[in-house]
Amino acid sequence: MVEIIGRDELISALDALIGAAVDGQGAAVVLRGEAGIGKTVLLEHAVRAGRERGLRVLSVTGVQAEGEIPYAGLDQLLRPVRSVAAAVESPYRRAVEVLGLLGDSGEAVLLAVEDAHWLDAETWETLTFLGRRVGSDRIALVMAVRDGEDIDLRLAAAGLPELRLEPLPDADAGALLDRTAPGLVPPLRARVLDEAAGNPLGVVELGSAAARSGSSALLPSSLPLSTRVERTFAGLVAELPPLTRQLLLIAALNDGSNLDEIRAAGAVLTGAEVPTEAIQPAVTSRLVTVDEQYEVRFRHPLLRSALRQQAAPGDRRRVHEALAAVLADSPARRLWHRASAVPGRDEALARELTAVAADAMQRHTVAFALAAANRAVQLSEDPAARARRQIWAVHAAHEQGDPDTARRILAEIDDQDLRPADRVRVVFMRDHYFPGASSGPERLLSYAGMIRTMHEGGDHEAATQAMCDVALGVYYSNAPAHVRDQLVEATLALGLDEDDPRLTGILGQIAPVEHGAAAVERLRQLLLRTDIPPTWRADLTVAAWAVGAFDVAAALGLSSVADLRRQGRIGTLSVSLSAAAAAHASLGDTRSALPLAAESIALATEIGQRTWVLGGHLITAQAEALRGETDSARRRADAAEQALSAARRFPMLALVQRARGLAALAEGHAEDAFRQFMRVFDPADTMYFPNQQLHLLGHLAEAAVLGGLLEELRPVADAMEPVAERSQSPALRVGYGYARAVLTGDYEKALADDLTAWPFDRARLQLTYGSALRRAYKITESRPLLREAATTFDTLGATPWADRARAELRATGETRRRPMDALDALTPQEQQIARLAADGLSNREIGERLFLSPRTVSTHLYRIYPKVNVRSRAELARILVSSGAA
């Protein structure tokens, strides 16, 4: 084995990575640097070291020609094992499947990726997602990438550790040159070292060229080093037989590497059979290698670039045509080569690609749909058709959870090519995908006009989708009545059938008071339907939360989450998780809310959904306050207030007040809590937000009764009575019932209502009534109420409220200990895993739900069991049930 000069620290780091994978501590690293800096040599060292330590090595080289084909790189990487299921079209789902696939063998595995910057986007997303989750798997991932602005953005989003390769020091560069081209005369040696500037490939190739041909081989230093090395390679290729050169060009332009496939394309080009031996001169010249599976590998990617650059455009097109001719059994690859062979634009092929994209979207293969749509855009002859395809591609990118691509495509649309209906649609989408500071409710009127224009222009589905997109923004706009009325009119003008769930979802968010009663009734009916797409159910979850039907929102949210996971619609999944978390938190169920919010934050962070990251933190703050973790809740609330105020999204500050008020209640500071909540009800306050009043009246009433502020509560409750009657908001009706009970003292009437789906509110009513009875010396009557309240609060994880109930019980002469909380010692992710394991799911099933490998799930359970003092799933289930956590 040849010694690698000047890279001792990097070699040690790679060896440590390999050793950790052997020991069951997976990790990922990115080797980064300019072309020729030595990434390939280090990657080859990692491969050798991995094999010596017994790792199974899977490798792939990114190919520029494959960049448009979803999962081309991943499928090639896994070919020695097996292909990943073609139906799985989400990078996140694929990453989990790969983790499970590699973990099944029990072997330690090294994934070695050369030229990762040329991987297709889906393979990149899959591998980087996998790289962030291999901590408990015997997997090492090493990716080599070339420097560049595009890769800077990719790596920033990937969040993987990097090892940067710098130019060799002078002494090391000199040692490498002396080993490669010994005996160069001092002036020529100095010239080579100066030209190479510490780049190892430059030292080797320019030194070799100088040894063969003297100083005439050194191209002008005004050229970039990569160009000079490419030309050195090109000179070597020029010495090969014509048929060998042709096979190398085919290999350079192919999106596969199989020698027989390359020979078959060569036969199409030459009209005669191409023998296997035709590639041998290139092997002998050390330009390529051919392994035992007859896979052709280029010695260096710059050779592939040199071959492409020196080939005439006509030759490149003929090669793509030949490859398309021999790939009849691979429709996707054949389609891409056909598209690459087209001289200029081709509207017919663009239409074909658009049809393929639409079909892929229907089959939930979103990644392929987006790639096909992008190529269709490039081939479009008709400017208006091209613009419509770009609009469609924006929607596909959004579905895939790729806001960066959506923004890029939007920026490329030429407004002059748009029909009037498309023009307003693009304006709307730019507002939606490039959100800046809130411009207030006035902008919403223009949205209403845009949506009408789309609808009148014949884009009925686009108009409906636009209204679905804008509905939550309307909810959080604090829009005056006349603005809401116009948006309601625009919604009704869409002509949606009354049975269309989208109508309920839109109106429930736009006008939760005016159309709340109909929305609540309809939502309960829709809950029973099984034919509603999960993306629509996600919108319905948000609508149900908006109108205060938290129990419906929780059920809809969890059902949509399951399907969105399976389909890999990560963008919508993070939204649905957030809405489900909000519903559970609003029901006081902190045990369910915190894991859901944590996962929503993680996924939204992964795909750059900053608004949903912020929302997840506010939901977490709400749940933490209910649990008594008030310091953390306030920190999150303070950070959220700063971000929301900077963006002038003042109505959302009501969610900040919700967290602060609950934190004050948890600490027993009732008057402070009342003042915090009252800001949401005060029209003169920046926190004023009528829509959230539907959710907060119960909390305000609790603060009032504890703080002796009932007279201040009375006018608020009176004002909310007609709102409760008109909206039929379940949350407001429950809150108003509690407020009336504390104002009149008639608790029995409030307890007679069906509060089965509202355990926190029922327990709060029992606690308040039981406390009142205890103070009236009705000890016997108070105890059952206080006992049941304490049990419910413990079950929900609302510890401060449970402690208050136990304190009241002690005042009656009855002692009740705080039960052991089986989940207190666990992180939110561990809580999710514990619950799913207790429900009987296997490690693989848990991993599929949470985008984790089975081995990672197993590792988590290994840590969970001693934390809760159990040894098995059965014991875990029993302890969760006994503590009320199940």
Q: What tens digit of pLDDT does each residue of 384-407 get?
A: 888 888 888 887 777 666 777 788
Confidence of residue 68 (pLDDT cuts 50, 70, 90): low
Task: Write the CATH number of the domain with boundaries 8-164.
Answer: 3.40.50.300
* HSE value, Cβ hemisphere, 13 Å, CA-based, for 876: 24
Query: Could you tell me the two tokens for 29?
Result: 């690293």
- Tell me which of 66-70, 218-222, 409-413, 454-458 is least confident: 218-222
Angle between helices 242-253 and 225-238 (to 10 degrees): 140
More confident site: 262 or 566: 262
Cα–Cα distance between 708 and 701 in angstroms, integer? 10
Asked whether the predicted pLDDT for residue 301 surpasses 70, the reply is no
Q: Mean pLDDT, to the nearest integer, of 266-278? A: 92
Q: Alpha carbon 623 to chain centroid distance?
A: 23
Cα–Cα distance between 697 and 229 in angstroms, integer? 73
Which range is most confident: 270-274, 477-481, 800-804?
Answer: 800-804
Asked whether the predicted pLDDT for residue 552 surpasses 90, the reply is yes
Asked whether the predicted pLDDT for residue 85 surpasses 50, the reply is no
Confidence of residue 107 (pLDDT cuts 50, 70, 90): confident
Confidence of residue 821 (pLDDT cuts 50, 70, 90): low
pTM: 0.72
Domain with CATH 1.25.40.10 in the chain: 496-627
Query: Could you tell me the two tokens for 88?
Result: 């799985």
pLDDT in tens, 604-660: 887 777 888 999 999 999 999 999 999 999 999 999 999 998 888 888 999 999 999
pLDDT in the model for residue 84: 47
Asked if 665 contacts 624 with a C-beta cutoff of 8 angstroms, the reply is: no
Q: Mean pLDDT, to the nearest integer, of 23-48? A: 88
Asked whether the predicted pLDDT for residue 11 surpasses 50, the reply is yes
Asked whether the predicted pLDDT for residue 437 surpasses 60, the reply is no
pLDDT in the model for residue 366: 62
Mean pLDDT of the chain: 85
Asked whether the predicted pLDDT for residue 322 surpasses 90, the reply is yes
Which range is most confident: 488-497, 562-571, 760-769, 821-830?
Answer: 760-769
- Based on the number of CB atoms within 10 Å of its own CB, is 199 exposed (0-12), middle (13-18) or buried (19 or more)? buried
Q: Mean pLDDT, to the nearest integer, of 16-43? A: 88
The fold for domain 828-882 equals: Arc Repressor Mutant, subunit A (1.10.10)
Q: Mean pLDDT, to the nearest integer, of 251-260? A: 87
Strand boundaries in 630-745, DSSP class E: none
pLDDT in the model for residue 354: 82
- CATH number of the domain at 745-819, out of 1.25.40, 1.10.101, 1.10.10, 1.10.3120? 1.25.40
- Tell me which of 149-163, 458-472, 499-513 is least confident: 149-163
Domain with CATH 3.40.50.300 in the chain: 8-164
Asked whether the predicted pLDDT for residue 18 surpasses 90, the reply is yes
**What's the 3-state SS for 648-660?**
CCHHHHHHHHHHH
Confidence of residue 502 (pLDDT cuts 50, 70, 90): very high
Cα–Cα distance between 781 and 628 in angstroms, integer? 28
Which range is most confident: 335-344, 474-483, 526-535, 690-699?
Answer: 690-699
Asked whether the predicted pLDDT for residue 219 surpasses 60, the reply is no
DSSP state string for 178-219: HHHSTT--HHHHHHHHHHHTT-HHHHHHHHHHHHHHGGGGS-
Cα–Cα distance between 794 and 823 in angstroms, integer? 11
Which range is most confident: 87-101, 169-183, 785-799?
Answer: 785-799
pLDDT in the model for residue 149: 67
Cα–Cα distance between 699 and 689 in angstroms, integer? 15
Asked whether the predicted pLDDT for residue 822 surpasses 70, the reply is no
Domain with CATH 1.10.10.10 in the chain: 828-882
Cα–Cα distance between 520 and 532 in angstroms, integer? 17
Cα–Cα distance between 697 and 718 in angstroms, integer? 11
Asked whether the predicted pLDDT for residue 571 surpasses 50, the reply is yes
pLDDT in the model for residue 453: 82
One-letter amino acid identity for 137?
D
Nearest-Å Rg of the Cα atoms of the chain is 32
Q: Mean pLDDT, to the nearest integer, of 257-277? A: 92
Q: Mean pLDDT, to the nearest integer, of 335-339? A: 81
One-letter amino acid identity for 87?
A
User: For the chain, first and last CA: distance in Å?
Assistant: 58
Asked if 134 contacts 27 with a C-beta cutoff of 8 angstroms, the reply is: yes
Q: Mean pLDDT, to the nearest integer, of 340-349? A: 84
pLDDT in the model for residue 884: 53
Count of Cβ atoms closer than 10 Å to residue 842 Cβ:
13
- Give exposure, 800-813, as e/b (b: 16+ Cβ within 10 Å): bbbbbbbebbeebe
- Alpha helices, H only, 776-853: 779-796, 799-811, 828-838, 843-850
pLDDT in the model for residue 302: 65
Cα–Cα distance between 523 and 556 in angstroms, integer? 9
pLDDT in the model for residue 213: 62
Cα–Cα distance between 475 and 543 in angstroms, integer? 9
pLDDT in tens, 678-728: 999 999 998 999 999 999 999 999 999 999 999 999 999 999 999 999 999
- Tell me which of 31-40, 527-536, 566-575 is least confident: 566-575
pLDDT in the model for residue 98: 83
Asked if 176 contacts 184 with a C-beta cutoff of 8 angstroms, the reply is: no
- Tell me which of 86-100, 587-601, 846-860 is least confident: 86-100
Asked whether the predicted pLDDT for residue 770 surpasses 70, the reply is yes
- Alpha helices, H only, 418-515: 420-433, 442-456, 460-475, 481-492, 501-510
Q: Mean pLDDT, to the nearest integer, of 40-60? A: 91
At residue 548, the 3 state secondary structure works out as coil
Specify the DSSP element, H or E, that contains 702. Answer: helix 690-707
Query: Could you tell me the two tokens for 273?
Result: 């059979």
Confidence of residue 781 (pLDDT cuts 50, 70, 90): very high
pLDDT in the model for residue 87: 44
Please state, for a pLDDT cut of 90, what percent of the chain lies above it: 41
The fold for domain 496-627 equals: 1.25.40
- Tell me which of 169-178, 402-411, 435-444 is least confident: 435-444
Which range is most confident: 241-255, 436-450, 726-740?
Answer: 726-740
Confidence of residue 204 (pLDDT cuts 50, 70, 90): confident
pLDDT in the model for residue 664: 97
